[in-house]
């Protein structure tokens, strides 16, 4: 299966046009060193991808790291390839150890640090990484609007936010004529549907906010490499393997295998295609530590599931 992430199948996020797979940058500077990261980024772009997701906090959880490692790798790649205008860069604010929360001052300091690491003068899509309920929505939205007006940010988005606060934020932007969230990054996949479906998805649908799901492959579980009789060790194996202990996890694996076999596709491709076909979803996020892991992800752009296949996966994951 050859990926075709052409302009014809791109999605729109405000003024941005993005490919159907967003490449997750959490592995850059963590499980993938700079050389491996460059190879993955080169292959992703060569396959037609243009939408890269990172955060200022990646990967502060690694001993010896302090946050910003992923942005630094990405910035070095952008500089060496000279392709800044060809890619859509998304990063996030609010979780870096030095810039926690969403006060106006924190946002304005954090964005400059991100820009320096990314070696660019603008960020295409800037997320509030986690909602900060100690700050009124008006404060952080006004700060974000200032960044848009200054040309440092093109569009804004939210991640890890409640339906109520998302509604409140959109209403404030509309009332005050400020930049509004064009996208939402929820935790959403075949084995975690209630983290998005329901009230949060309803708010997104009502206001035309696009969903860019993270953990799209459930820490690798939905690639199919984790099986009851074949334990796998990796940096994420604990998070993935827990789904093997649930009836739903086993049902989902069986349904993925059925659909994948019918299309001569990988389970990961099927899982991403299901997600991409869900209401409001524009582009799932998935990361690749090696170039060999990319084809199954990029093939998302070529796989259309039938109504019967969608029903099979919906029922297995219910």
What positions carry a catalytic annotation? 58
As a whole number of angstroms, the distance between CA 45 and CA 19 comes to 10
Question: For residues 13 and 182, is the Cβ–Cβ distance under 8 A?
Answer: yes
Cα separation of 52 and 264, whole Å? 27
**Residue 194: cis peptide before it, omega within 30 degrees of 0:** no
Yes or no: say if 35 and 28 are a contact pair by the CB < 8 Å rule: no
**Residue 294 is encoded by which pair of tokens?**
């990319």
Report the b/e string of 67-82 with b at 16+ CB within 10 A: bbbbbbbbbbbbeeee
3-state secondary structure of 161: coil
Of the candidates 153, 233, 163, the residue with the CA atom closest to the CA atom of residue 201: 163
Q: What SS3 class is residue 238?
A: helix
């Amino acid at each position: 299966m050859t990926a075709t992430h052409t302009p014809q199948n791109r999605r729109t996020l405000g003024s941005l046009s993005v490919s159907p797979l967003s490449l997750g940058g959490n592995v850059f500077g963590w499980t993938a060193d700079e050389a491996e990261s460059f190879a993955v980024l080169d292959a992703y772009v060569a396959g037609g991808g243009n939408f890269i997701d990172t955060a200022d906090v990646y990967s502060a959880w690694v001993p010896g790291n302090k946050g910003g490692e992923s942005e630094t790798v990405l910035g070095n790649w952008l500089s060496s390839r000279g392709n800044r205008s060809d890619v859509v860069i998304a990063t996030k604010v609010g979780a870096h150890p030095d810039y926690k929360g969403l006060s106006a001052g924190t946002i304005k300091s954090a964005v400059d640090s991100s820009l320096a690491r990314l070696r660019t003068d603008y960020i295409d899509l800037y997320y509030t990484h986690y909602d900060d309920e100690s700050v009124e929505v008006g404060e952080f939205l006004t700060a974000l609007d200032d960044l848009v007006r200054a040309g440092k940010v093109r569009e804004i988005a939210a991640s890890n936010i409640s339906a109520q606060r998302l509604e409140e934020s959109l209403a404030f932007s509309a009332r005050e004529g400020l930049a509004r969230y064009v996208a939402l990054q929820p935790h959403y996949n075949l084995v975690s549907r209630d983290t998005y479906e329901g009230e949060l998805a309803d708010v997104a649908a009502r206001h035309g906010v696009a969903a860019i799901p993270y953990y799209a492959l459930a820490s690798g579980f939905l690639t199919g490499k984790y099986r009851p009789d074949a334990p796998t060790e990796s940096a994420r194996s604990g998070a993935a393997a827990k789904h093997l202990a649930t009836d739903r996890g086993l049902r989902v694996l069986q349904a993925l295998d059925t659909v994948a076999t019918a299309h001569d596709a990988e389970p990961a491709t099927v899982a991403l295609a299901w997600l991409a076909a869900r209401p409001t979803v524009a582009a799932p996020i998935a990361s690749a530590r090696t170039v060999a892991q990319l084809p199954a992800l990029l093939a998302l752009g070529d796989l259309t599931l039938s109504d019967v296949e969608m029903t099979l996966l919906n029922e297995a994951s219910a």
